[in-house]
Amino acid sequence: MKDVSNKPDSFRSARAQCRLRAPQDCIERLRRGDTDKGDALKTARIAGILAAKRTDELLPLCHPLPIHRAELEFELGEEQVTVLAEVQTIGPTGVEMEALTAAQMAALTLYDMLKPHCRPDQLEITDGRLLEKTGGKSQFRRYLR
Amino acid sequence: MKDVSNKPDSFRSARAQCRLRAPQDCIERLRRGDTDKGDALKTARIAGILAAKRTDELLPLCHPLPIHRAELEFELGEEQVTVLAEVQTIGPTGVEMEALTAAQMAALTLYDMLKPHCRPDQLEITDGRLLEKTGGKSQFRRYLR
Amino acid sequence: MKDVSNKPDSFRSARAQCRLRAPQDCIERLRRGDTDKGDALKTARIAGILAAKRTDELLPLCHPLPIHRAELEFELGEEQVTVLAEVQTIGPTGVEMEALTAAQMAALTLYDMLKPHCRPDQLEITDGRLLEKTGGKSQFRRYLR
Amino acid sequence: MKDVSNKPDSFRSARAQCRLRAPQDCIERLRRGDTDKGDALKTARIAGILAAKRTDELLPLCHPLPIHRAELEFELGEEQVTVLAEVQTIGPTGVEMEALTAAQMAALTLYDMLKPHCRPDQLEITDGRLLEKTGGKSQFRRYLR
Amino acid sequence: MKDVSNKPDSFRSARAQCRLRAPQDCIERLRRGDTDKGDALKTARIAGILAAKRTDELLPLCHPLPIHRAELEFELGEEQVTVLAEVQTIGPTGVEMEALTAAQMAALTLYDMLKPHCRPDQLEITDGRLLEKTGGKSQFRRYLR
Amino acid sequence: MKDVSNKPDSFRSARAQCRLRAPQDCIERLRRGDTDKGDALKTARIAGILAAKRTDELLPLCHPLPIHRAELEFELGEEQVTVLAEVQTIGPTGVEMEALTAAQMAALTLYDMLKPHCRPDQLEITDGRLLEKTGGKSQFRRYLR
């Protein structure tokens, strides 16, 4: 694990995304909040927030950070849902991995709740990437999604 | 959480994949095992196995299952690495989510260890899907990747 | 930790409850799902289910059990919400503590999400008890709540 | 999860309580430290302290905080035990939920250790509330219990 | 993680030990249960039991097992305490690692609670080994300690 | 849990060790990275780092600390491997327990991966102690190992 003792605390935020492709009627179920296992979007939001806070347990070389904010949003398309995760901290290192982990775990939660409603080959998690990162020495912004 | 008390225990296995796209020199680092944070493939294997065993903590509506085997493999391409996860259990419900979670967490670990070596827009996690599932009432096999 | 190796596996279920007293407008927020932190009932359901699965980590002398089902329900009264938790397993020991833990953690989650909307002395968690237990050597049913 | 990046770190403490009602001979067992599962008060103290440190994993929208102190006390009455939890931090948000969670998990631990010694309808966890909170913008003190 | 799907469930137990060397007055504190942080032996017992249940999270290639019993004992000598851990399960693989982990975590807990009372070079954890293992294909018993 | 609110944050580091005695051919397997369960040294490194970050969950009275660095090293002898752990933080209390826990969990991981290759009485974890501690009011350095 890299040493971050020399890095000053600063405000840092990161936004990441991934996408779940799913059949139209599954997207409809997300919109109505009525899968057989419950309201998938609201469950996935919680799973993503909890995952953001536990990233350093899941990714062995990540530093523990005091997560100041973690939030998930979902954009429903025709045959896909885009999962957007945003995480903020004041710390010595960035929160990219926290945002990426939150997005992926939220997408996996949606997958888990939709899988009784379609065939496995109709579900795919894709387009997982960092959208924006502020704070620290390097700033990064992806303008197009 | 759905009731699985009426489902008999049976042997179940699942294989899942995802892909991390990364620049050639990053793939080379994976091959040589020498990122600044250590040997990324071997670290990702451990992260994936640990994630498989904790899937029911990460995905709120997953059942806890006695994981009998979890293994990760990595296929290095020119500008991508394919992460393959296989999980087995004897239990009342399947291990698809365990295999998918293992693959995604392994890919995120690779991402975390490669990110000091390239720009964020050069890394993307994609093609996350179930490849095969045996046991339980429905069997599924995806022949093409 | 008591030895349960001699106890045969059997179907076991437990139902438990607790109550959160809160001002009328807070109960109204629960009904509409619109606290400042999100939909409190749906979040509390997830927190309760997750807590049921981790009971053996939280209560030092509880045995790990393969939770087959965990579910939460909420009955909204005028100035209180009753949290009902039901847990099922097939195992060598009962799931009373899992049901009680699920109910309490769900109530604490409601408390956490309502506290920006009222004064601390308006919130109280009370009436935490087992309602029903089946399986194992002793059966128990509380007919009145 | 609400953003706390703008909130300055300050010293914060909270005290919370709950009560476990139990038959007289169970209270006596607590006093003597001799339930069949071991010394219940000392075990509950540890369970409460551990729970305080993991509150942000249990309550989805709580922020992780560097817990500086967590302590439990038990007041034995004739047919009840009052669990008092006190938690302190220096952080951007308060520790009410940590104190409340510590008290409830300690009470559940006592319940778990007393239940082989009485009937389920003789045990009840009640009166869970915040007693005092200092630091941050609002201060609160409940003078009567 | 090795596949244990072909291994039949059987009763399995393991006993392990380790030793903490400490100055006489520290041993005396253990005996009286009065370190500045509380009763160390009772706290270490709980830490050991909890660790036994989480061994598969701590040791990456250990299988999750339904721990049926975990217990710790402490033998106080003049300038050392011997920590004995015993774990039992009915499962497809043994509980040696659970017993060893329980003993080590209990010893580390004692170390943590004694360290305000002596110098670091007066504390040492040693003699960590398996004492006995039953069940599975190989049985093992160490007669001398 | 002792109150550390009055202690100022300062840079703190600790180094700890333990030793695993094992037969020559097992040490050879460590060197070549080829136990039946995989590369033991690289797995143990990860287990140790993860354990350092979770010390406050494992040792009940330890404070949570923002681990800034955790690293493991292994010195292979003829019939033993010395595990060295180093941990750094900027915090109100020291990281001795984190370093000791990291070393022990790494050694237990090695034990777990070597045990299919030898008899139980050929493996022993010993010499667990603090080597160096800096920061805080007391400094300590053990010059000889």
Predicted confidence (pLDDT) at residue C15 exceeds the cutoff of 50: yes
Cα Rg, chain E, nearest whole Å: 16
Q: How far is F119 from chain A (nearest CA, A)?
A: 31
B40 and B95 in contact (C-beta within 8 Å)?
A: no
Averaged pLDDT, D51-68: 97
pLDDT band at D136 (very low <50, low <70, confident <90, very high): confident
Give residues with Cβ within 8 angstroms of E122, minimum separation 6.
Answer: E21, E22, E23, E26
Rounded CA separation E27/E79 (Å): 7
Predicted confidence (pLDDT) at residue E26 exceeds the cutoff of 70: yes
Query: Which strand (E) or helix (H) includes residue F44?
Result: helix F40-53
Q: Which domain holds residue F105?
A: 10-141
E49 touches chain F (CB under 8 A): no
pLDDT tens-digit map of B31-77: 999 999 999 999 999 999 999 999 999 999 999 999 999 999 999 99
E2 touches chain F (CB under 8 A): yes
Averaged pLDDT, F23-39: 97
| pLDDT for res D1 | 87
| pLDDT for res D144 | 41
Per-chain mean pLDDT for chain C: 94
Chain B residues whose beta carbon lies within 8 Å of the beta carbon of residue A50:
58
| pLDDT for res E138 | 67
Residue B26 located in a structural domain: yes
Q: How far is C34 from chain D (nearest CA, A)?
A: 14
Predicted confidence (pLDDT) at residue A138 exceeds the cutoff of 90: no
pLDDT band at A9 (very low <50, low <70, confident <90, very high): confident
Rounded CA separation B112/A61 (Å): 8
Q: Of D46, D53, D69, which is closest to F4 when you measure between CB atoms? A: D69
pLDDT band at A145 (very low <50, low <70, confident <90, very high): very low
Residue D1 located in a structural domain: no
pLDDT tens-digit map of C82-110: 999 999 999 899 999 999 999 999 999 99
| pLDDT for res A142 | 57
Residue B68 located in a structural domain: yes
pLDDT band at E144 (very low <50, low <70, confident <90, very high): very low
Q: Which amino acids of B are annotated catalytic?
A: 112
Predicted confidence (pLDDT) at residue F42 exceeds the cutoff of 90: yes
Total of domains in chain C = 1
- Nearest Cα to Cα of residue B33 among B44, B21, B41: B41
CATH of the domain at E92: 3.30.70.640
Predicted confidence (pLDDT) at residue B144 exceeds the cutoff of 50: no
Residue D123 located in a structural domain: yes
| pLDDT for res E145 | 40
Coil, strand, or helix at residue E120? helix
B126 and A73 in contact (C-beta within 8 Å)?
A: no
E16 touches chain C (CB under 8 A): no
Averaged pLDDT, A134-144: 68
Residue B91 located in a structural domain: yes
| pLDDT for res D145 | 40
Residue E109 located in a structural domain: yes
Chain F residues whose beta carbon lies within 8 Å of the beta carbon of residue E39:
none
CB A57 to CB F50 under 8 A?
yes
pLDDT band at E141 (very low <50, low <70, confident <90, very high): low
Rounded CA separation B125/A121 (Å): 18
| Cβ atoms < 10 Å from Cβ of F91 | 23
Instruction: At B1, list the tokens.
Output: 């959480």
Closest residue on chain B to C57 (Cα): B57
Residue A123 located in a structural domain: yes
Chain E interface test: which of B68, B71, B109 (most E C-beta within 10 Å): B68
Q: DSSP assignment, residue F123?
A: -
CB A4 to CB F54 under 8 A?
no
Give residues with Cβ within 8 angstroms of F4, minimum separation 6.
Answer: D68, D69, F63, F92, F93
Q: Which amino acids of A are annotated catalytic?
A: 112
| pLDDT for res F7 | 86
Rounded CA separation D63/D85 (Å): 19
- Nearest Cα to Cα of residue C85 among C67, C62, C102, C105: C102
pLDDT tens-digit map of D14-35: 999 999 999 999 999 999 999 9
Per-chain mean pLDDT for chain F: 94
Per-chain mean pLDDT for chain A: 94
Residue C2 located in a structural domain: no
Q: How far is F112 from chain A (nearest CA, A)?
A: 19
pLDDT tens-digit map of F67-125: 999 999 999 999 999 999 999 999 999 999 999 999 999 999 999 999 999 999 999 99
CA distances from D58 to C48, D64, E1 (A): 9, 11, 29
ipTM confidence score: 0.96
Rounded CA separation B20/E68 (Å): 41
